[in-house]
A and B are shown apart, each in its own frame.
Chain A
């Protein structure tokens, strides 16, 4: 007779291979996963085991996590509205601040509808899975984020991939679709792994020529691109043409949560249909307040984008001059390609030993199966901090 322990074992067997892989990586030094920083000193510096590190992998693009207005708004929200809403948007979880933030986002993007979700991941899950249903077709860029793939799995629509950043390939796939059903093309503005930018203008043209709507995830591009910081759609002159834009509060907006805006007022209908909107607690008052305050900073301080661009250029050219292969032209995400996973893990450790924290990205999380040292730049980085990162890279030694 099987004991209880043996009966439950098969559930964990699926983790054996990745666990072993992680253990192998730890033989090369510290695990790069989940470093528990003891204290965050600023958007760009932290303490770990008593030592100070430069943070070059945080997605804190505008460096607003320590902004006085942002912090003060959060404190006031806790004092006046409490620690949490404890309810969904459909029930008791819509406060005045949630509604006001939606109005502010609608005005910022000049759209007809804006819906705030509890996280950025849930935004895409909730919006995409509600928009596309049976008989509909979703076409996603091959390099799409996990939340986009997961959103597609939640629908009854057919999902098709097209080659990354390839409008011609998208056109081919759109033309293969049957006449019946709606069509939704989903792309990102700036791709999170490589930092490369979508040819959005061409994608919109192809999509609309084939009766498809366009959904752009600007999670990594809001705040960073466009004259007013509204992302790649604005930067490429197609803000009025895209049908849906999603974004997150957890990067440029220094909080946690997400939003989707649309030029179609009918988008409001998903408040009654989106499971990830209806069946989860709404964003805590402090998080909503932080996002609102950060949005204000984004609108009123275009200099933040100038600083971000300047530091991104400095880091990109510094690493390029050292001979490193970077996946894309200058952007706030700088992905340094490494020859293999072991080299990337070794070099991640060497950088950490020099007081520099970056992200390690390895397959299958990376497009094309490459191993990366992924860096993200902040408007709060100083030239000295950027130079410290470059120097750390110059000291990297080959794996022996």
Chain B
């Protein structure tokens, strides 16, 4: 499994706490629009992702991240930058 895939799986695991069981998630799934996660919960789940990887995702970056795939890329980039 690639690093990207592992990150995607971890993010899906975090997301599972906020959505009905069995909800299908793909890279194109929009976190707010498709999964109906509200803005308050988005910040909380981002914090969980940050803690899982010991990274910091700025609010500016969060505001331009809409899909699960984009979030995966952000995390991958920050890990790579470290």
Contact = CB atoms under 8 A, between A and B. Distances in A.
B40 interface: yes
Interface string B32-61: 000000111101000100110011111110
Interface string A124-161: 00000000000000000010000000001000001111
Nearest to B81: A178
Interface residues on A, range: 10 to 19
Given A176-B54, A176-B55, A161 B43 contact: yes
Contact of A369 (B38, B58, B59): B38
A173 interface: yes
B38 A363 contact: yes
B66 to A, nearest CB: 17
B63 to A, nearest CB: 9
Contacts of A368: 40
Given A152-B59, A177-B56, A161 B47 contact: yes
Which secondary structure dominates where chain A touches chain B?
Answer: mixed
A152 B56 CA distance: 16
Nearest to A369: B40
A364 interface: yes
Nearest to A162: B47
A265 B31 CA distance: 45
B38 A158 contact: no
A163 interface: yes
B43 to A, nearest CB: 6
Interface magnitude class on chain B = 10 to 19
Specify the main secondary structure of chain B where it touches its partner.
helix
Contacts of A176: 50, 54-56
B58 A159 contact: yes
Contacts of B54: 172, 176
B59 A160 contact: yes
A176 B52 CA distance: 13
Contacts of B39: 364
A363 B40 contact: yes
B60 A142 contact: no
Nearest to B43: A161
Given A161-B47, A163-B47, A364 B58 contact: no
Given A161-B47, A163-B47, A369 B56 contact: no
Interface in B4-25: none
Contacts of B57: 160
Contacts of B55: 176
Contacts of A364: 38-40
Contacts of A177: 56
Nearest to A152: B59
Interface string A158-180: 11110100000000110011000
7 contacts: A142-B43, A159-B59, A161-B43, A163-B47, A173-B56, A367-B40, A369-B41
Closest 8 CB pairs of A and B: A158-B58, A176-B56, A159-B59, A369-B40, A160-B56, A364-B40, A364-B39, A173-B56
Given A142-B47, A160-B56, 8 more contacts: A159-B58, A160-B58, A160-B59, A161-B47, A173-B50, A176-B56, A177-B56, A369-B40
